[in-house]
Amino acid sequence: MIDNEKLIPGVRFNEFGEAQVVVWAPELEEIALLLENTQEQRPLKKQEMGYWLLRTDALKPGDLYQFVVKDKPQPDPASLWQPQGVHGPSAAYDVRNFKWTDKDLPQLALKDYIIYELHTGTFTEEGTFAAMESKLDYLVELGINAIEIMPVSQFAGARNWGYDGVLPYCVQDSYGGPEALQHLVNACHKKGIAVILDVVYNHIGPEGNVLPQYGPYFTDKYNTPWGDALNFDSPWCDGVREYFVENVLMWFRDFHIDALRMDAVHAIKDMSPVHILQEMRTHVDELAQQTGKSHYLIVEMDLNDTRYIKPIANGGYGMDGQWIDEFHHALRVSSGQQRSGYYSDFEPITSLAKSYKDAYVYDGGFSEHRKRKFGVKADGHSGEQFVVFSQNHDHVGNRMLGERTSQLVSFEMQKLLAGAVFVSPYLPMLFMGEEYSESNPFQYFVSHTDPELAEAVRKGRKREFAAFHLDGEAPDPMSEETFNNSKLQWSLPEEGQHKTMLQFYKELIRLRKSQPALTSNDREALEVEPNTVNETITLRRWTSEQQIVAVLNFSKTVREMWLPEQGSGWKKLIASSDQVWNGLGNVTDPPADRLIMLPPESFAIFTDSVF
């Protein structure tokens, strides 16, 4: 039964087939539902707090409709489906019609996530949710138990990273629409794979953005790098806040998403007594009481501020975790890659060692790049609250040519970077194709239909890289070739070094899952010893059952490394330089003096308890 006390934006159906049509438009004088098949208009009745309401049996699931706003038809701002794209009419969709089979399946705890970030359009040749389902067995065999899907909210055209979405409730038509997403999530749960969905609540994309036609969704009080700031704390903000809170709840309730990854929350501007993220957390907790499920909120932010991940009871916003870019930056410079821009703030080896121990590299110290003291200490926060990676869509795609790590460092260094991620006490994340050393780039692409906007994007991309004085030109983001060049090559995992890398990742993930000291997220049971002269790190982790030591050699020279005295008899679990991984030489179990010779650009893990 539709909740008559709560007006949820959009079209919702009750068990009798009646549609409840709700629009938030506080400053309009009138608004009408336009039925596309008959061109009949039905007026909505104004309610309190800027809402408009119509209950009707004239609108059925699948029917096309729009709203007449100031004599002009517009898509529903809370549309679930745009079968003709952002500029076409909306289609009514009944989210309750999908037959879920995941109700009694066990839910994976966040602490156990092995995450695989992917982009729907380039993950497969077809670029659809249905095609993604055909790869789920591959991901299970790899050892992945959580996929993170880049944003799927409706954007202009068929090619986009997703961060230009304009209808937050709507599932991209070229990917398959809302039913196809529900089908994918259900299929993932059958395979034991959790689903994280990337959502954008800091701005709305430029083409097809109809929200200003309905009401004050934006404020000029703040700016974001990508467009007007959303109105979370200015006049009429209550309706905007409710719109996005309901969006969060919809993904969990109606699409059975396990976690949301919330893009760039540092660009969400809100000076309200209750921050919008905290309000979302409160409502999600209420939903969890009803569903009996855990619904996780993970944020991306350019702030080392534990307020975001502290419980509400402790004065925080209650987010479950965050991406931690600083680990990536420290790992990148340790691998010998260029230290330009924000990477200049990070020292090889020492910054990585600090991130292993303290999560944040900058936790109150002076940042030369920012010209100020930055960050706070992350003491008291478990490793499961931090997601780490050696590459992701941003740090690949925001390079001028979109080169993956496989094109920037050696085969041996790629294995070392993977090992550095998986021996951490944090949640590991892979970027699609990383596991078999995909050689295709992941470049920036869009498909705007507005010629002026398309040209502005082209010029902006060229201007962005002009200061770097790089050879060549940035690929045309509007070109279909740029998009196609970014697709995974699914023949590679069966070939040569790519096949070896895939088997290496499988073993690394197996060890992460099976060895107690690697599975643990305990940041306190960890010691790290950096050696900047030798460019090495020794990392020891332990539980009551086991201790392990990981030795990492980022140099181009064989290094003598001593294992800790605490071991009762160290045994090798894996060494990236072993010949089975096409490495430079086998590492053997250490002799009594605990001395090993570690080949260049490699790592090895030892244990004193075998599981």
Cα atoms found within 13 Å of the Cα of residue 130, Cβ hemisphere only: 9
Judge contact between 264 and 277, C-beta under 8 A.
Answer: no
Region 417-430 average pLDDT:
98
Continuous H helices in 83-166: 120-123, 129-133, 136-142
Phi, psi of 164 (to 5 degrees): -105, 25
Nearest 5 degrees, angle CA 136-CA 139-CA 145? 100
The first and second tokens of residue 412, run together, are: 């041996």
Amino acid in the structure at residue 505: Y
Check residues 468 and 147 and name the one with the higher pLDDT: 147
Q: What's the mean pLDDT in 476-503?
A: 97
Q: Is 43 domain-assigned? A: yes
pLDDT confidence of residue 5: 58
SS3 362: coil
The catalytic residue positions are: 263, 300
Looking at every residue in the chain, the average pLDDT score rounds to 95
Mean of the pLDDT values across residues 518-545?
Answer: 97
Q: Is residue 527 scored above 80 in pLDDT?
A: yes
Instruction: Tell whether the model's pLDDT for residue 471 goes beyond 90.
Output: no
Instruction: Tell me the pLDDT band of 114, cut-offs 50, 70 and 90.
Output: very high
Assign 520 to helix, strand or coil. coil
Question: By C-alpha distance, which of 437, 428, 430 is closest to 408?
Answer: 437
pLDDT of residue 43: 98
What is the mean pLDDT of the segment spanning 28-42? Answer: 97
Give dist(CA 349, CA 330) in Å, integer: 7
Q: Is 140 within a domain?
A: no
Judge whether 264 lies within some domain.
no
130-178 tens-digit pLDDT: 999 999 999 999 999 999 999 999 999 999 999 999 999 999 999 999 9
Instruction: Give the percent of the chain with pLDDT over 70.
Output: 97
Residue 261 lies in a domain: no
Residue that is last in its domain, among 95, 113, 138: 95
Does the pLDDT value for residue 467 go beyond 60? no
More confident residue, 461 or 373: 373
Which of 34, 64, 95 is where one domain is finished?
Answer: 95
**pLDDT reported for residue 593:** 81
Domain boundary (41, 76, 95) is at 95
Q: Confirm if 301 and 264 have CB atoms less than 8 A apart.
A: yes
Q: Which letter does DSSP use for residue 149 in this model?
A: E
Residue 221 in this model has a pLDDT that exceeds 90: yes
In a domain, 71, yes or no: yes
In a domain, 219, yes or no: no
pLDDT score for 466: 61
What is the distance between the alpha carbons of residues 188 and 487, in angstroms, rounded to a whole number? 22
Instruction: Note the pLDDT of residue 401.
Output: 93
Written as six digits, the tokens of 497 are 């070094």
Supply the CATH number for residue 18's domain.
Answer: 2.60.40.10
Residue type, 293: K
Distance between CA atoms of residues 344 and 351, nearest Å: 11
Q: What is the pLDDT of residue 469?
A: 46
- Entry pTM: 0.97
Can you give the pLDDT at residue 474? 85
Q: Rounded to 5 degrees, what are φ and ψ at 353?
A: -60, -40
pLDDT beyond 60 at 4: no
Residue-level pLDDT at 404? 96
Print the domain residue range for 70.
Answer: 10-95
Q: Answer whether residue 254 is part of any domain.
A: no
DSSP state of 446: -
* pLDDT, mean of residues 273-295: 97
Average pLDDT estimate for 205-215: 96
pLDDT digits (tens, 9 = 90+) for 225-266: 888 899 999 999 999 999 999 999 999 999 999 999 999 999
d(CA 299, CA 18): 37
Task: Specify if 603 maps to a domain.
Answer: yes
609 or 397, which is more confident: 397
Q: Please tell me the total count of domains within the chain.
A: 2
Nearest 5°: CA angle at 117, between 504 and 78? 165
Angstrom distance (rounded) from CA 232 to CA 237 = 5
CATH of the domain at 561: 2.60.40.1180
